[in-house]
Amino acid sequence: MTETFQFKLLAADGNARRGEVVTPRGTIRTPAFMPVGTVGTVKAMYLDQVRDLGADIILGNTYHLMLRPGAERVARLGGLHKFIRWERPILTDSGGFQVMSLSSLRKLNEQGVTFKSHVDGALYHMSPERSIEIQGLLGSDIQMQLDECVALPAEPDEIERAMEMSLRWAERCKVAFGDQPGKAMFGIVQGGDIPRLRERSALALRDLDLKGYAVGGLAVGEPQEVMLGMLDVTCPVLPADKPRYLMGVGTPDDILKSVAHGIDMFDCVMPTRSGRHGLAFTRYGRINLRNARHAEDTRPLDEQSSCPATRDYSRAYLHHLIRSNESLGGMLLSWNNLAYYQELMAGIRKAIEEGRYTDFMAETMEGWQRGDLPPV
Amino acid sequence: MTETFQFKLLAADGNARRGEVVTPRGTIRTPAFMPVGTVGTVKAMYLDQVRDLGADIILGNTYHLMLRPGAERVARLGGLHKFIRWERPILTDSGGFQVMSLSSLRKLNEQGVTFKSHVDGALYHMSPERSIEIQGLLGSDIQMQLDECVALPAEPDEIERAMEMSLRWAERCKVAFGDQPGKAMFGIVQGGDIPRLRERSALALRDLDLKGYAVGGLAVGEPQEVMLGMLDVTCPVLPADKPRYLMGVGTPDDILKSVAHGIDMFDCVMPTRSGRHGLAFTRYGRINLRNARHAEDTRPLDEQSSCPATRDYSRAYLHHLIRSNESLGGMLLSWNNLAYYQELMAGIRKAIEEGRYTDFMAETMEGWQRGDLPPV
């Protein structure tokens, strides 16, 4: 087993890359989708199931975990991996994004951000150094720099100011992270929807020679073409021998296209959150199980799937569970959705290896567009 | 495989009985605990897990299922077993108890009960015949007569009136059920906390020569001694060669003692409902995982258990999940609790076979009284 964090590029097809992030805790096959384990649990799933579906890595949210159970407590309990029973790699975000979206009373300046916990109202201060310290206490394998993510649309001056400060924070995070051969700290490219700012951010981060790079501040409401356009100016600037992670993305369609633009890693709450709300992702596209058309449909979501949730339970039963607000509904649809996402990633990886990624994209999108089975 | 519903008495120890209810869908080892699958799901559990824990039968609630998805719909979908993916026996209640407790606008008379659905406000009428018809549409293996369950304390006249009407309803249900060799319709002994009424009810039901007998209207707030006293006047009157089911009971302590008074079958939402609220049943008694003493306790609930939820997850993690209101908390504690209940029933059955039920009761209660492990 390796003792250092490495990225290996195994194959490429156009801008799509097939690789491996090798860490002491295991290898992450890329392109990879990371299920989100917000508060130390991938909602409504046993982590054994998550692993069995093919996830090589999961994500933990620093903001949630620092508030409850608290980073120092997790450290005393032996670290996040042991606490939640997941021995493979974990990536943690910096906490910054959720400080902005969930906490109140935020005061942000060059030093960092002061905020009130949404759990108990307690006051916290987070600097770039403290964010890295917290992620270290959690025992995270891939840590993210603290950054400021501006909601779009925003004024160019504001986007630039936040991007420049994020660059200075990246340097401070790099120093705080220091030399940890088995782990990595990723920088985050910012710059909103302005190509020259994205380029400036990517260039400056490249010069910091980090172990990996994320693209942040996208999929925050802008059209998909804008997001892909930003990837087109960003990815070519980033070093080819480092992994690239598009934060918080996204729909299966977003993922399929972003891979073609050079992205290696993804995370999103969509499969689990949508699952709890009755939405199933399948090779027939999205299926809303709340819809009355499923009420007497004895067919499973997809009889050819290897996932029990997808193959063994009737649509009628799933419809009933979702309509009745029963937790088994969310359990089964989260399971189905994470299975579909991992199956999609496996298909993506295979297609890149075989040099037929363009065809794979077309076939996959055709399946979605053909839509669901005709009603019974 | 048998084609008829039978009860076999295998052993007895005092009044405690070890038996088997044999049905075309499988054998129920008694004393048996039936997990409650209210709306067609044992909450927060996969039914595969429920079976793996040793449950031979589960319970479905007629009231909930008739409102959603509806009995006729379940029948069109092939019956409840197929709908929910549980091929073993299912017992359904009559719906009467929950009409009284959950619906509004109830009008009850000799014909039956008219009520408004708590789901959508629609008006329903349920007669004894309709209750049996619904249970038949669901495909229930053990069906219950419609009865009127009076909340205690109540006036003797009122208890007697309801008990007598329940007897007349038992006759109507018997006629409606007719001749179904592989299935059973159980009568329900009523009579509140009045011994002579309980005796009268049991005698009259015995004369109806039903395939099994339930004791209803207990564990509704009265002291445990009152409940056990009612069993003492009821069970001796009931035929020894028919199974006896104590409805809605109860705590592990209630079950342990009721078995000693001659009861064979139990059902209760307690293990699943309490689990979702953070309460664990163990051989050390009840453990409230919300309690701060567990926050940094890396020990599992019980390292000697064979249930993964009990053996593999730290108390600290369970505490965190419950405090964070994460569904995995309810999933794990429901799993633990149903495992403990089934383990208790297995212990009860073995002790009766070995003629040491009194000792088993004493040892089990001693374990509960000794209480939880000392804090770390």
> Nearest Cβ partner of A77 from B78, B296, B327?
B296
A93 is in an annotated binding site: yes
Q: Which two tokens stand for residue A38?
A: 């917000």
Our CA-based measurement puts residue B63 at a distance from the nearest CA of chain A, in whole angstroms, of 14
B320–A45 CB contact, under 8 Å: no
CA closest to A300 among chain B residues: B83
Q: Which of residues 79-118 of B touch A (CB under 8 A)?
A: 83-85
> Which tokens belong to B3?
């084609």
Confidence (pLDDT) at B99: 87
Question: Which of B52, B66, B77 to mutate: most A Cβ within 10 Å?
Answer: B77
Q: B39 — contact with chain A (CB < 8 Å)?
A: yes
pLDDT value of residue B106 = 86
**Is A232 one of the annotated binding-site residues?**
no
Q: Is the pLDDT of residue B1 over 80?
A: no
> What residues of A are in contact with residue B328 (Cβ under 8 Å)?
41, 43-46
Distance CA B270, CA B280 (A): 10
DSSP count for chain A of H helices, then E strands = 15, 16
Query: Which residues in chain B have their CB less than 8 angstroms from residue A298's CB?
Result: 77-78
Q: Which of A41, A73, A317 sits opposite B326 (nearest CB)?
A: A41
Distance CA A363, CA B19 (A): 59
- Write out chain A residues lying below 8 Å of B85, CB-based: 312-313, 317
Q: What are the tens digits of pLDDT across the range A6-29? A: 999 999 999 999 999 999 999 999
Query: What was the ipTM of the complex prediction?
Result: 0.98
Contact A342, A237 (CB under 8 A): no
pLDDT value of position A3: 93
Nearest to A63 by CA among A83, A46, A34, A40: A40
Task: Name which of A39, A69, A84 is nearest B295 (Cβ-Cβ).
Answer: A69
Q: What is the number of other CB atoms lying within 10 angstroms of the CB of residue A113?
A: 22
Q: How far is A92 from chain B (nearest CA, A)?
A: 18
Selecting from B296, B324, B327 the residue whose C-beta is nearest the C-beta of A327 gives B327
A85 to chain B: which residues are within 8 Å by CB? 312-313, 317
Q: Has this prediction a pTM greater than 0.90? A: yes
* Closest CB from B44, B84, B324 relative to A317: B84
Residues in A closer than 8 angstroms to B312, CB to CB, are 85
| pLDDT tens string B2-30 | 899 999 999 999 999 999 999 999 999 99
3-state secondary structure chain B: CCCCCEEEEEEEECCEEEEEEEECCEEEEECEEEEECCCCCCCCCCHHHHHHCCCCCEEECHHHHHHCCCHHHHHHCCCHHHHHCCCCCEEECCCHHHHHHHCEEEEEECCEEEEECCCCCCEEEECHHHHHHHHHHHCCCEEECCCCCCCCCCCHHHHHHHHHHHHHHHHHHHHHHCCCCCCEEEEEECCCCCHHHHHHHHHHHHHCCCCEEEECCCCCCCCHHHHHHHHHHHCCCCCCCCCEEECCCCCHHHHHHHHHCCCCEEEECHHHHHHHCCEEEECCEEEECCCHHHCCCCCECCCCCCCHHHHCCEHHHHHHHHHCCCHHHHHHHHHHHHHHHHHHHHHHHHHHHCCCHHHHHHHHHHHHHHCCCCCC
pLDDT (tens digit, 9 = 90+) per residue, B245-294? 999 999 999 999 999 999 999 999 999 999 999 999 999 999 999 999 99
For each of chain A's 376 residues, which pLDDT tens digit applies? 689 999 999 999 999 999 999 999 999 999 999 999 999 999 999 999 999 999 999 999 999 999 999 999 999 999 999 999 999 999 999 998 898 888 787 899 999 999 999 899 999 999 999 999 999 999 999 999 999 988 889 999 999 999 999 999 999 999 999 999 999 999 999 999 999 999 999 999 999 999 999 999 999 889 999 999 999 999 999 999 999 999 999 999 999 999 999 999 999 999 999 999 999 999 999 999 999 999 999 999 999 999 999 999 999 999 999 999 999 999 999 999 999 999 999 999 999 999 999 999 999 999 999 999 999 8
Which candidate, A226, A184, A220, A190, places its Cα nearest to that of A205?
A: A190
Tens digit of each residue's pLDDT (9 = 90 or more) over B38-62: 999 999 999 999 999 999 999 999 9
Could you tell me where in chain B the CATH 3.20.20.105 domains are found?
4-266
What pLDDT is stored for residue A221 in this prediction?
Answer: 86
| B157 labelled catalytic | no
Which residue in A211, A201, A200, A199 sits closest to A245, CA to CA?
A: A211
A112 marked ligand binding residue:
no
Query: Which of B43, B328, B331, B334 would best serve as a mutation to test chain A binding (most A beta carbons within 10 A)?
Result: B328
Whether B327 sits inside 8 A of A69 (CB atoms) is no
Q: Residue A376 has what pLDDT?
A: 83
Q: Which of A13, A56, A93, A141 is an active site residue?
A: A93
Residue of chain A nearest B327, judged by CA positions: A44
Cβ contacts of B321 on chain A, cutoff 8 Å: 40-41
Judge whether residue B301 has pLDDT over 90: yes
User: How many CB pairs below 8 A link A and B?
Assistant: 91
Look at residue B101 and tell me whether its pLDDT is greater than 80. yes
Asked whether the beta carbons of residue B68 and residue A312 sit closer than 8 angstroms, the reply is no
Judge whether A334 is annotated as a binding position: no
* Mean pLDDT of chain B, nearest integer: 97
* A120 at B interface, C-beta within 8 A: no
Q: Is B37 within 8 Å of chain A by CB?
A: no
Q: Which residue in chain B has the smallest CA separation from A314?
A: B83
Note the pLDDT of residue B289: 98
Catalytic, A52? Answer no
- What's the CATH class of domain B4-266? alpha beta
Mean pLDDT of B325-342: 98
- Supply the pLDDT for residue B220: 87
pLDDT recorded at residue A104: 83
With beta carbons under 8 A apart, name residues in chain A contacting B77.
296, 298, 314, 316
Once rounded to an integer, what is the mean pLDDT over residues B80-92?
A: 98
Report the pLDDT value the prediction gives residue B152, as an integer from 0 to 100.
85
Residue in chain B nearest A298 by alpha carbon = B77
Question: Which residues, 6+ apart, have CB-to-CB distance to B362 below 8 Å?
Answer: none
Is A127 assigned to a binding site?
no
| Per-residue model confidence as pLDDT tens digits over A188-238 | 999 999 999 999 999 999 999 999 999 999 998 899 999 999 999 999 999
